[in-house]
Homo-oligomer: A and B are copies of this chain.
Amino acid sequence: MNLVLLAADDFVGEARVRLTGRRLAHVRGVHRAAPGDQLLVGLEGGQVGKGLVVRLDDDALELDVALDAAPPAKLPLTLVLALPRPKVLNRVIAAATSLGVARIYLINAWRVEKAYWSSPRLAPANLREQRVLGLEQAKDTVLPELELRRLFVPFVRDELPAIVAGGTALVAHPVAATDAPRAPVAPLPLTLAVGPEGGFIAAEVESLRQVGFAPVSLGPRVLRVETAVATLIGRMF
């Protein structure tokens, strides 16, 4: 937690916030802060600044906050991810958020196991928490948009054209003939599709190609989705 993310209802005075629960426990147990210390804080969706610890005990952390700086800019990037295994979902969401992805679609694909869609990790509260963890990691305040799309074909046919319009669209595909770019792409924004373990099937790649996605390869090494996403962002941003 490199930034303590505040919500509007944390405020108990004009510049005073009172925090309990996870944030209190983290600041006590990990930061080991004490009254008089300053912490980096940010208002969800708003500015970042400093919070002076004025109280810290079993019951609450209270901070006097001054918010005066913009959070880091988002990347002009939409990720379209085949729904990962529950075990890796949390990490992918938090990592993508920390990297500054503006919008994430979790979609179905042939090789996504049906059971993944029943995972409790898809509950809105968990999807929100993972994004909050990513924001706190990266000292950001703006939640990326996150959408679930259980049906591949209607999403690709009816929604993706508008999402990719005017920008660049790439799909990571292990057997693509072209390597993923090693430099910023134009025009932006970029929409980047990453398949499930085992990849998108050929028919899915063809559907994506028909709405403007160019297949690109990351080379002979098959990477886990969170590693692939970070590597692709490193290459192109």
User: Which residues on the B side are within 8 Å of A98 (C-beta)?
Assistant: 221-224, 227
A13 contacts partner chain B, Cβ-Cβ < 8 Å: no
> Which chain B residue has the least Cβ–Cβ distance from A182?
B183
The stretch of A56-64, A115-123, A135-143 in contact with B is A135-143
**Assuming A230-B231, A231-B231, is B137 touching A222 (CB within 8 A)?**
yes
Interface residues of A, count at CB 8 A: 28
A148 contacts partner chain B, Cβ-Cβ < 8 Å: no
A220 contacts partner chain B, Cβ-Cβ < 8 Å: yes
Q: Is the CB of A227 within 8 A of B95?
A: yes
User: Which residues on the B side are within 8 Å of A223 (C-beta)?
Assistant: 98-99, 137-138, 230
User: Which residues on the B side are within 8 Å of A232 (C-beta)?
Assistant: 234
A-B residue pairs in contact (CB < 8 Å), sample of 22 = A72-B219, A72-B220, A72-B221, A91-B91, A95-B224, A98-B221, A98-B224, A98-B227, A99-B221, A99-B227, A100-B221, A137-B223, A138-B221, A139-B221, A183-B183, A226-B226, A227-B230, A230-B231, A231-B231, A231-B233, A231-B234, A233-B234
Interface residues of A (CB under 8 A from B): 2, 72, 91, 95, 98-100, 137-140, 182-184, 219-224, 226-227, 230-235
